[in-house]
Amino acid sequence: MNWFTKTFSSTMGRKIVMSITGLFLCSFLVVHLIGNLQLFNNDGGEAFNIYSRFMGTNPIIRTMEFVLLAGFAFHIYDALVLTRRNKAARPIGYANNHPEQNSTWSSRNMGLLGTVILVFLIIHLWNFFVPARFGGLEGVVIDDVEYENLYLRVVESFQVWWYVAIYVVAMFALAYHLIHGFQSAFQTLGLDHKKYTPFIQMFGYAFSVIVCFGFAIIPLYFFFFFR
């Protein structure tokens, strides 16, 4: 146990944890986006509300929510620890080193991007997840069964310009965060190779752009076309 604790509290150990949790959270993004695409069904929100009910009542999904929460917690905590260690090891910073010549903007600003995403996540959970799990939504009857109308909350929220703006900005931040983080995770786990790294970079870039565009288009659609 001592060896385990020392290993995963080391800088490399924390990077490994960040990489594993980051890739796990990427899989969550895909599942979450697929579910959210139900919003585009022209059925007054029936499919989305049925999907939301299933996600909120299925015991396997509810258990996975705790796993997901742990993934977020470890990822955020390790990011904070690593950022603090990096600053302590480099108190003068990059002022005279011209970092733009050997690193990307996203790699130098992962802390800023992560902070934007975290603030958005808190707002997003408070607006959607909390009322969906703990009550506060209006009811709607679908095929003689009453459901909580999360679809209505989505429509109302995405009529508010500043909330749409926050959502879209957060998706830009997430895209940049993923573009660097996806490739970095494979590198940290030792899964990089001169033969496969270009594909990993290309796939990571495409994944980041497509997933974040998929999320961003939802509030824009409801704000501009659903009135």
> How much is the pLDDT for 39?
94
CA dist., res. 153 & res. 139, Å (int): 11
- By three-state DSSP, how is residue 192 classified? coil
- Is this model's pTM higher than 0.85 or not? no
Contact 133, 57 (CB under 8 A): no
CB neighbours (10 Å) of residue 85?
12
> How much is the pLDDT for 185?
80
Per-residue pLDDT of the chain (227 residues; tens, 9 = 90+): 554 555 556 767 767 777 888 888 888 899 999 999 999 998 989 999 999 988 888 888 888 888 888 877 877 777 777 667 666 666 555 544 555 555 677 767 777 888 899 899 999 999 998 998 888 888 888 888 898 999 999 999 999 999 999 999 999 999 998 888 888 887 777 777 677 788 888 998 999 999 999 999 999 999 998 76
CA dist., res. 216 & res. 210, Å (int): 10
Of 32, 174, 68, the closest CA to residue 116 belongs to 174
H/E element, 139: strand 139-142
CB neighbours (10 Å) of residue 171?
22
- Please identify which residue in the block is written with the tokens 């990489």: 19
> How much is the pLDDT for 91?
55
- Please identify which residue in the block is written with the tokens 């490399």: 12
Tokens of 138: 């209006």
Tokens of 178: 């993923």
> How much is the pLDDT for 194?
74
> How much is the pLDDT for 227?
64
> How much is the pLDDT for 101?
52
> How much is the pLDDT for 71?
79
> How much is the pLDDT for 99?
54
- Cβ neighbours of residue 161 under 8 Å, at least 6 residues apart? 223
Q: What letter does residue 38 receive in the DSSP assignment?
A: G
Where on the phi/psi map is residue 85: left (φ > 0), alpha (ψ -120 to 50), or beta? Answer: alpha
Of 218, 169, 203, the closest CA to residue 32 belongs to 218
CA dist., res. 89 & res. 85, Å (int): 6
> How much is the pLDDT for 143?
86
- Please report how many Cα atoms fall inside a 13 Å half-sphere around the Cα of residue 158, on the Cβ side: 23
Rounded CA Rg of the chain: 20
